[in-house]
Homo-oligomer: A and B are copies of this chain.
Amino acid sequence: MSVATAIATDMNGDEIAGEMDQLGRRARAAVQELALASAEQKNTALRVAAATLRDRTADLLAANALDIAAAEERKIAPSLIDRLKLDAGRIDAMAGGLEQIADLPDPVGEVLSTWDRPNGLNISRVRVPLGVIGIIYESRPNVTADAGGLCLKSGNAAILRGGSESFHSSKAILDCLQAGLGKAGLPEGAIQLVPTTDRAAVGEMLTMTDYIDIIVPRGGKSLIERVQRESKIPVIAHLEGLCHTYIDGAADPLMARDIVVNAKMRRPGICGATETLLVDKSIAEQTLPEIIETLSAAGCELRGDEATCALDTRVNPATEADWRTEYLEPILSIRQVDGLDGAIRHIATYSSHHTESIVTDDAARAEKFLNEVDSAIVMHNASTQFADGGEFGMGAEIGISTGRLHARGPVGVEQLTTFKYVVRGAGQVRP
C-alpha cells in the first residue's frame, strides 16, 4: 500500500460537504446524551481510553511510522517531524493526560451561584456544556487525545480536524478514545475526526453554524488568522504570546536575573516565553551586564536599543520590528524605559495582551503594574513561563485565549462550558 493513497484526499466537494454534514448530525445527536452523562461514565471513558492507548502502543507506533514516512517523502522540516513523532514515552504521557482529566472535578451541573428573590423565586446559575466544539489543529497528534478528553470531560461533543501530516496517528488515537466511549456506553458521535485531509473540509467546518457552537484553532499564526477570518462560528483563539518582563528600579538584581533567564530560556518556544525585556533606565547599568552575560552564555541572541547596545558588544541593534515580534526562539529584545510609566506605555503599544511580569520590591509599583497592564495574565516577581493551565492548577488546557470574550487566559474544562439559569417557583406570576 502506498503511503499517499492511504489518506482520503480524493473526495470531491460534494462528498466532503456530505461527510461533514454527517459528522455534524452525529455530534448534535450526541450532545444531549453527553450533557446528561454522569461524571462516572465520562471518567470511565477517559480511563479506558488511556489504558487502550498504552495497550496499543505498537499499533500507534506503526500508524505514526506511516505519517513519518510520508513527511520524510515530502521533505518536511526536521522540527516538524519531531512534533509529529510518537514514541512509547509520548504515548504514555498522552494516556497520563487523559487520566489527569478524569481526576478533575466534573464541571457540569456545578451551581455557580444561587439566590432568592423577594417574591420567593429561587434562581441558580448552573454550569452546562457548550455543545459541539470544532477543533482545528496542526501536526502534533497528541492534541487528538488532549482535545478529545477535555471536550468529553466538559460534556461537549468534539469534531477534530488534525493536520494532514498526522492523519494516521490521529486516527489510531481516535480509535482508542472510541474504545473508551464504547465501554462507558457513550455515543460514538461524542468524539469524531474529520475523515479527510482535504483543506476544503476546514472551510466546511467554519460555516457549520447549525452543528458547531464554537471553533478552537490550535496552531501557527496563519492557521489562526485564516480561522478568525473565515469562521461564521464564534472562535476561541490564542493568537500570539508577545510577553514582556519589566525590571523595575526597585527590583532585586539577582531575582531579576533568575526570572528573566527562566522567562526566556526555559523553553523559548512556548507562548508564555518572554520576548522583550524592559528595564528601568536608572538601574540598567547595574543590572543588565550580568543578565546579558548569563543569557549570552546560555546561547541567547540579544537585540537592544542604543543604550543597551552600548553596554555590551554582544547586543546587536533592535529595530521597530523587534518590539513587534514573537520570536519563539532563543532571541531577546531589550529596551530601557523611563520607569514604570514607560514600561506600561511600551506594553500597551506592543503587547499581544497574553502575559506580562514586573520584577520589583516596591509593592505600590507592583500593584500599579498589575492594575494598569491590560493582559490576560499579569505577574509580580514570577516568570512568565508560568502562564499555563497546568501551572495555574486548572488541569489540562486546550490553549491560552488572547481574546477578551468568554474565555481569557488558559482554556481548561471550565472554560469549555457555559451556564443556564434555573428558576424555581411556587406559582409566581409577574405583576
Contact = CB atoms under 8 A, between A and B. Distances in A.
B252 A422 contact: no
A281 to B, nearest CB: 23
Contact of A381 (B128, B131, B380, B424): B424
A418 interface: yes
A175 interface: no
A350 interface: no
Given A404-B213, A406-B406, A418-B408, A374 B423 contact: no
Interface residues of A, number: 61
Contact of A418 (B115, B213, B255, B404): B404
Contact of A422 (B35, B36, B370): B370
A379 interface: yes
Nearest to A376: B420
Contacts of A420: 374-378, 408-409
Contact of A376 (B32, B377, B393, B421): B421
Interface string A41-83: 0000000000000000000000000000000000000000000
Contacts of A392: 117, 123, 421
Contacts of A405: 130, 213-214, 234, 405-406, 418
A427 B259 contact: yes
A382 interface: yes
A5 interface: no
Contacts of A385: 429-430
A316 interface: no
Nearest to A408: B418
A371 interface: yes
A266 interface: yes
A350 B392 CA distance: 41
A311 interface: no
Contacts of A259: 427, 429
A393 B429 contact: no
A391 B262 contact: no
Contacts of A403: 234
Interface in A21-44: 32, 35-36
B374 A35 contact: yes
Interface string A400-431: 00011110110000000011111111111110
Contacts of A144: none
A115 B393 contact: yes
A423 B375 contact: no
Nearest to A404: B418
A425 B409 CA distance: 18
A386 B255 contact: no
Interface string A226-263: 00000000100000000000000000100100110111
Nearest to A366: B424
Contact of A262 (B255, B409, B422, B430): B430
A372 B36 contact: yes
26 contacts: A35-B374, A36-B372, A117-B391, A117-B392, A121-B382, A121-B386, A121-B391, A123-B393, A262-B429, A266-B429, A266-B430, A357-B423, A370-B422, A370-B424, A374-B420, A377-B420, A378-B421, A379-B422, A380-B425, A381-B428, A382-B423, A382-B424, A382-B425, A382-B428, A404-B418, A408-B418
Query: Which 9 residue pairs spanning A and B have beta carbons closest together?
Result: A382-B425, A262-B429, A406-B406, A255-B427, A385-B430, A379-B423, A381-B425, A405-B406, A383-B429
